[in-house]
Amino acid sequence: MDTSFLSATILLVLITDPLGNIPFFISALRKVRPERRRIVVVRECLIAFAALLLFLVAGRPILRVLHLSEDALRVSGGVVLLLIAIRMIFPEHGVRLGEDEETPAEPFIVPVAIPLIAGPSAMATVLLMSTPDPLRMLTLAGALTVTIAITALVFVSSTRIQKALGDQAITALERLMGLVLTAVAVEMLLGGVVSYLRRLPG
């Protein structure tokens, strides 16, 4: 999965979807004292960062053990991202993360760090991004750092953002990010299929 710093950052921001997760984040922290919320945000973002960084660093060894080809990864990654994009454009109704009445007073790891920030889709994406090139790994780690910093900033300002934009504007932005992610997913899927066809004998 060949990505530059900018494209990797944009892709990770689209997948983690901090704006779309604002309502669920506010719901998850509704029992937390206002003076504790900033501390909780920083802690949960650091935990999510550590989890995603682990998948980024250990991605290649995992793929070698599983004997997976680059083409298979690109196709499967495209399918996963396409499913995520479809859910962003057509969200499911019913109870979502942070809406459960049994949510503890102060969430720890679950549900904010994992899976709200570092969900299965984000973990799969950083695993697909992993590379043996040390310089590119630094670039991807930088993109991951910027993504988590943006997420932390959005979550710290979540109440003000929700009041300023309103639920409809946040929903519209999530749909827009879903459309962009759909194009990324299709491009990845087509790239994997074309690369595989080129490797066929004859």
Q: Of all residues in the chain, what percent are helix, strand and coil, respectively (each to 5)?
A: 75, 0, 25
Instruction: Please report, rounded to a whole number, the percentage of residues in the chain having pLDDT higher than 70.
Output: 91
- Are 137 and 66 in contact, with CB atoms under 8 Å apart? no
First-to-last C-alpha distance (Å) of the chain: 26
Within a domain: 110: yes
Within a domain: 61: yes
> Residue 92: its pLDDT value, please?
67
Within a domain: 154: yes
Residue burial 108-137, b: 16+ Cβ < 10 Å; e: rest: eeebbbbbbbbbebbbbbbbbbbbeeeebb
The answer, yes or no, to whether residue 93 has pLDDT greater than 60, is no
Range of the domain at 142: 5-197
Within a domain: 70: yes
The answer, yes or no, to whether residue 28 has pLDDT greater than 60, is yes
Question: pTM above 0.85?
Answer: no
Within a domain: 157: yes
Q: What is the mean pLDDT of the chain?
A: 85
Distance CA 78, CA 191 (A): 9
Split into its structural domains, the chain has a count of 1
Mean pLDDT of the region 85-91: 83
Within a domain: 30: yes
Amino acid type, 39: I
> Residue 202: its pLDDT value, please?
62
The answer, yes or no, to whether residue 163 has pLDDT greater than 80, is yes
- Residue-wise pLDDT tens digits, 105-136: 788 898 899 988 998 778 888 988 888 888 99
* Nearest Cα to Cα of residue 148 among 80, 52, 22: 52
Within a domain: 202: no
